[in-house]
Homo-oligomer: A and B are copies of this chain.
Amino acid sequence: MTLLVVGSIALDSVSTPFGDRADILGGAASYFSVGASLFTKVRLAGVIGEDFPDEHLELFRSRNIDLQGLRKIEGGKTFRWSGKYVDRMDVAETLDTQLNVLGECKPELPDAFRDSEFVLLANDHPANQLSVTEQLNKPKFIMMDTMNLWIDNFRDDVLRVLKAVDALVCNDEEARALGENANLIAAMKNISAMGPKTVLIKKGEHGAIVLHHEKFFALPAFPLEEVKDPTGAGDTFASGVMGFLAREGNTNFATIKKAMSYGTVVASFNVEDFGLDRLRTLTRDDIDSRHAIYSNFLDVNA
């Protein structure tokens, strides 16, 4: 089924213990669309500036991503983020953020995207996310991401979006803040009571846990000896989850569990190199091979 992502496209500058990269392709919607394109046909909605390099558009096109929702703003500059990871690399220290066109433009879906069935609302101001839900015509499954900035300062708006979506994906700190409980399990139950019947928590090296219609399921991360750049780990995890769900065309618990295992595998590839460098060359065969190893790693009876 059709899969739409609405979110940021960025030029990132990243520093990790393994090196530095300047002005590389980044942004949640970039990571998500390239990751999900390995599962299904993806529609991308977002804004870029005049400075956005053609080579990045070529990457999207090479993955058959539908760019009808990509707006290039004349005279505008692309959103830029600069961050640093140290030691355990579990938290990004943001060095600089320049919203640029992202701060100036509200998300607008082209008519051709309004019938999208699976939708990922990447992290954005909740008012923008709500506006997208109103532009959709009978979506089947909407998942939203969010962050502490919105939870802390625009809680009512976040709650409004929560009522309009089927699923939330966020990290564990965000879930504790949104669910107002230091216990993650209790926080997830509180969030589900606010609307979404699927609450999916990303825990980085500790894996992921979901609450789906009152049932829990958790997965450990794929064990990696070397993580070069964690940027986009959460977005590529979501890309594998939503890509698999859209391909299967259903969202029952069994499919969500399997989707999470694919999301884990895509994210594990993504962090092996800077930015989108690993996903650039990643194939379905790569994913299937590692998924077989991962399934064996998970099996308590193997």
Contact = CB atoms under 8 A, between A and B. Distances in A.
Nearest to A88: B182
A217 B297 contact: yes
Given A182-B87, A182-B88, A206-B207, A223 B219 contact: no
A203 to B, nearest CB: 7
A261 B203 CA distance: 20
A226 B89 contact: no
B209 A220 contact: yes
Contact of A257 (B87, B176, B300): B300
A298 interface: yes
A92 interface: no
Contacts of A221: 218
Counting every copy of the chain, the complex holds 2
A229 to B, nearest CB: 13
A181 to B, nearest CB: 9
A199 to B, nearest CB: 12
Interface in A224-275: 224-227, 254, 257-258, 261
A184 interface: yes
Contacts of A207: 206-207, 218, 220
A202 interface: no
Contacts of A73: none
Interface in A67-118: 87-89
Given A189-B225, A217-B297, A89 B254 contact: no
Contacts of A217: 297, 300
Contact of A209 (B88, B185, B223, B224): B223
Of the four ranges (under 10, 10 to 19, 20 to 34, 35 or more), the interface on chain A belongs to: 35 or more
A302 interface: yes
A205 interface: yes
B216 A223 contact: yes
Contacts of A89: 182
A223 B218 contact: yes
A281 interface: no
Which has the most chain B C-beta neighbours within 10 Å: A182, A206, A257? A206
B225 A185 contact: yes
Nearest to A173: B88
Contact of A300 (B185, B223, B295): B295
A96 B237 CA distance: 43
Contacts of A295: 300
Report, nearest first, the 6 A-B pairs whose CB atoms are least far apart. Answer: A218-B220, A206-B206, A216-B223, A186-B225, A185-B223, A88-B182
Given A207-B218, A218-B223, A298-B300, 5 more contacts: A185-B225, A209-B220, A209-B223, A218-B297, A220-B220
